[in-house]
Chains A and B, each alone.
Chain A
Amino acid sequence: MAKAFKYGLKGITGFLEPAERELLRSLFDDVISMLEPEDRGNQDPLAAMIGLDMDVKEPSDRALRRLLPNVVKDDGAASLEFRQLTERSLRESKIGALRAAALELDKDELVLTAADARHWSTALNDVRLVLAERLDIRDEADADHVHQMQDWSQAEDVESYLALVYNFTTWLQESLVQAMLQSLETRP
């Protein structure tokens, strides 16, 4: 069984079983592949280098739209203009955090610096946002319903399995954030 993250002298530490590490690795990889921009051969390399993407569109996938939301409510044109300037680098920073978190999974015991912890918390959060869309969590009542699912012996279909995975990542993120909040309190 995984152990909750703790804040102590070594920084933020945690422990995950091999099967849990494999699960997280595949979740991080899934979200990375969702976020990787499609390779467009005719892309202007200079524009790509400085993060511009003039051909960008609002994502059609709901989960991806939650990860890369419109910046102006009810204004598609203004949001699209903003996307052209920022979406590529937002995707890259999210992928960077997910990759950094995945790298930490190579060790049995997790010992996280403040920067590692930040990568982990955003990576876990992005995983949870994607799982929540797949589970159709629209409001607090849906979230409560999914939260009821705690017993792995009940996992009989994809949805119940996803719900258990969602609850595991929620628990893990909550313990990490509590440790991070503690580290904020004791900062000089």
Chain B
Amino acid sequence: MTLSVALGPDTQESTQTGTAESTDALTAPDIPWNLVIWNDPVNLMSYVSFVFQSYFGYSESKANKLMMEVHKKGRSIVAHGSKEQVEQHAVAMHGFGLWATVEKATGGNSGGGKNGGPGKGRGKRG
């Protein structure tokens, strides 16, 4: 038989002196990530534009521009943010049936794509 001796917060005080905060600071939540939408031959262009307008709140012209970029170039970066933010967007896109992936932003925040090294100048976005 054993007697439960639960430790209250006051008894643990000495074991936790300000270490939690300093380790959290190293995960840098503001490293930019990209949300990428990939082309596929099934999703309707109108539907993809509707999703961009209704989910991201983009204007019709911005949504159509991104949709055409997906259609013509095979992929488009449609949003940026922290890893958590773009992952949340990706799940939402999968919910809509769009093919979305996340990737670490490369070459600054111009979003030229995975292989677009510096100097390629493909920083155009909607």
Interface residues of A (CB under 8 A from B): 66-73, 82, 86, 89-90, 93-94, 118, 121-122, 125-126, 128-129, 132, 137-140, 142-143, 170, 173-174, 177-178, 180-181, 184-185
Contacts and interface: CB of A to CB of B under 8 A. Distances in A.
Contacts, number: 76
A77 to B, nearest CB: 14
A143 B54 CA distance: 26
Interface string B74-113: 0000000000000100110011110111110000000000
A175 B31 CA distance: 41
Contacts of A181: 46, 49-50, 53
Contacts of A142: 41
A69 B42 contact: no
Given A71-B87, A71-B100, A90-B91, A174 B44 contact: yes
Contact of B101 (A66, A71, A139): A71
Given A82-B87, A93-B95, A143-B41, A72 B102 contact: yes
B61 interface: no
Nearest to B71: A140
Consensus secondary structure, chain A interface: helix
